[in-house]
Amino acid sequence: MYQLTKSVTFDAAHLLRNYVGKCANLHGHTYKLEVAVAGEKVDEVGMLYDFFDLKKLMQGVVDQLDHRFINEIPPYNEINPTAENMAYQIYQTLRQQLAEQNQNIKLKYVQIWETPTASATYSED
């Protein structure tokens, strides 16, 4: 099994509702979105999947969030923009897009880093 990971960063603001603590206040993060895909076979070039295509897929997600107030962007206007919820939502989006594009690879996980030392990962394994 081969596995590729790619990460991109973006800057955004959020606050947590129904939460008592500093994160209830409006604040920002330089988020890192990390995505892993896996598959059994490489193509004739020797690639499982083109990093360029993976980045393009991730960029679609990042473009919606970069330099925005995440709480105003659906579904985060209704659910809390925690790293856990963001990882889950992004996983669902990317899984569907990947399935439409390439049958040979599978989304392994989506990891959202809020700081260099704190992240949440969603996977279905």
Total binding residues for Zn ion by CB under 5 A? Answer: 1
Nearer to Zn ion, 53 or 114 (CB): 114
Using alpha carbons, select from 91, 84, 76, 79 the residue that is nearest to residue 124: 91
Contact 29, 11 (CB under 8 A): yes
Residues 7-46 that bind Zn ion (CB under 5 A): 23
Shortest distance in whole angstroms from residue 15 CB to Zn ion: 8
Residue of minimal Cβ distance to Zn ion: 23
Pairing label, strands 106-115, 118-123: antiparallel
Question: Smallest gap, in angstroms, from Cβ of residue 14 to Zn ion?
Answer: 6
Q: Are strands 2-14 and 106-115 parallel, antiparallel or unpaired?
A: unpaired
The pair of three-digit structure tokens given for residue 38, joined into one six-digit string: 């896996």
**CB of 31 vs Zn ion, minimal distance in Å:** 9
Cβ proximity to Zn ion: between 4 and 23 the closer is 23
Residue with structure tokens 């004739």? Answer: 44
Give me the least distance between CB of 100 and Zn ion, in Å please: 32
The contact set with Zn ion (CB under 5 A) reads: 23
